[in-house]
A and B are shown apart, each in its own frame.
Chain A
């Protein structure tokens, strides 16, 4: 008897195929997201901002018990250091009073000279203090998320300062939260100069704790211990803000040590010098 060949697809096989197909589609979508991210699309940025706005309040709530434990630890630590700290502060206070008198004299002198030269001073910087609610710093990226509240003064590109120095710039503003791109991130490039010798270079993050000083002259006068300050070139950062200290000069690279202890940061200052917007306006006018 002749056997009939019956072709049929079982439902389970179909389901398995659908699952594999879905995985393949999602893999392709992930790659497409990366390509879109490279192109810096508006839609992707908006979607990412919505996710930030939804999930950051949860991080803030989750943070509360950790903050409490850390607060108790800090208080106990502070008590043990209180005498030494007090002694140090008294000495600093005397130094500060001397500096204050010098500053007053210099300010008066500066005002008089500026008047003689008919110099127009730049507008005073304004700042917003923001609490850090989330941080990340693995080998892939270095950033912080800070809570700014209801203020509308914070804009993309503004300078972010820690207690003593520059820590980065505002990358994204998403409602009450901002993402700060740290200067140790691979995307960060800050034009700097060596305070002592005025040698110029670019401070380039590489997702490690030690950013590198690049594009310096071969015979540049740079020594370990030299302070790096922003040069003001490119218009994002105003000139003269401390960034880091040269820690090692190798054959191929110059290591820079950060001044602010970023893991210890609880608050940051987001400063508006009004420079970045002016530069963006100027560029768009020139392009137009």
Chain B
């Protein structure tokens, strides 16, 4: 499965969600599918996308929040999984695209390439629902089930280590940030 196909498959289900992504391929690919005002791309601050999602979810319990995270980022903030689990906002859906590498900087293999299971770590941290998926069909099924369940869920989706040709887009960082804030103000 590619990350691009996975995001395409759930794109319509993001319409009413506040979406936070990590930097690099995830941000560029989601924008290539189609930017929306409810998408915030945390370009840099690696590891903190789930923390930003937690801050939004705790502040606005009526707004469904989706975080598109990655293995390299999660590995930089494993403690954050324990904080997610501790407060377990039901409106937070945490997706980790696991390509077993730091793709944007040349493909340096991460620990998930040598056996570390992020879904198992999330479950052991106390995240009440977790899933490991390897196919688009399973990803969509788990994504929809998590949205229905209204329980904090971490879905780890194994994806191919391929990405876009370029990571810089024409959407300014601050343009995106203020647009996203205004979107949340309107909700």
Judge: A and B partners, yes or no.
no
B contact residues vs A (CB 8 Å cutoff): none
Give A residues with C-beta under 8 Å from B.
none
